Amino acid sequence: MKLNMSVSTFCFLVFFFIETPDVSVAEALVLLSVLFFVPNIFPFVFYQTADRLVIILEKTLMRCYPIAAVSASLAFLTDAVLFALIWWAYTSLLAAYGVIRLRKTKIHRIEETSIYLGLIYLFMGGFWFFAYTSNMNIMNFSRLIILLTAVHFHYSAFLIPIFNGLLGRKIRVKRRLYLWVTWTILLSPMLIAAGISFSKILDFIAVSLYMIALYVNGYLVFHTPFHRKLAKILVAISAIVLMITILFSLIYSFGVFQEKVTLSISQMIWIHGFSNAVGVIIPALCGWRLENPQPS
């Protein structure tokens, strides 16, 4: 873990040194997830089963991560397709791990399903990362939209389901409410992506449902007992910030639906991207690492 953090910090500093003063905030957000957030979810899912195939995959993912992280950094610095392909291949292996764990998980353990689907969604992040670096033409999307889609699948589609799953490991009451929240959170990334691609109405409805689910998720955070007070404070801060930033997503989506500019894409990158990284993901990761909920 210390090696991973050392490699990640070095890569991030090199990226900023070379790209300054023309640093792309969206690229930096993707790298922040690749270099710091991805390895920090490993303790929540690895080494929790004695299955031999799973253990082999976990060791492979841990050993290959530094190579994948360096490759992702070089993909942005050099625009070399090979480096982006390596990161996509790594997310594919992580998704395969998620599928295997999902097949061995009982269906009523919805919290574990949420965690493993988060890993599977990261595969889509790897694909859009590759599409951006390789200048792939997808439905006439601009290069910026493709990059922001990569951000979407490296953040809300990947990390929010995992945090929701960790919360589910602690919830003993209100399980039906948690079940609805979980399925809404799990289906929303694909519904939002479909809405952006095909239907403004679908996009607005999907964002609205997602916002409601996140508000209920925040309610469950406040009503779930934690062993560590500081952990609950950090996770609660994360939930509150997310409830604020998702409002801006709804405002932006409504503007797209009405064909009126409410917020620019540049503003959304800072409000919904940077703010979520600093105010949502970092406190949640710190809080859940302190609490360290184990699967039942």
Size of the chain in residues: 296
Q: Work out the average pLDDT over 59-85.
A: 94
Q: Work out the average pLDDT over 102-108.
A: 73
Q: Work out the average pLDDT over 141-166.
A: 93
**8 Å CB contact between 97 and 61:** yes
What is the Cα–Cα distance from 235 to 225, expressed in whole angstroms? 12
Lowest mean per-residue pLDDT among 103-112, 122-131, 211-220:
103-112
> Residues of the chain with pLDDT > 70: what percent?
98
pLDDT of amino acid 235 = 97
CA distances to 8, 35, 47, 169 from 28, rounded to whole Å, are 13, 10, 30, 32
Residues 6+ apart with CB under 8 A from 199: none
What is the Cα–Cα distance from 89 to 81, expressed in whole angstroms? 12
Q: Which two tokens stand for residue 275?
A: 């703010």
Q: Work out the average pLDDT over 161-184.
A: 93
pLDDT of amino acid 1 = 64
pLDDT of amino acid 201 = 86
Smallest CA-to-CA distance from 66 within 99, 42, 102, 95 is with 42
Average pLDDT, the chain: 90
Q: How confident is the model at residue 223 (pLDDT cuts 50, 70, 90)?
A: very high
Q: What are the sequence ranges of the domains in the chain?
A: 1-154, 156-296
Q: How confident is the model at residue 107 (pLDDT cuts 50, 70, 90)?
A: low
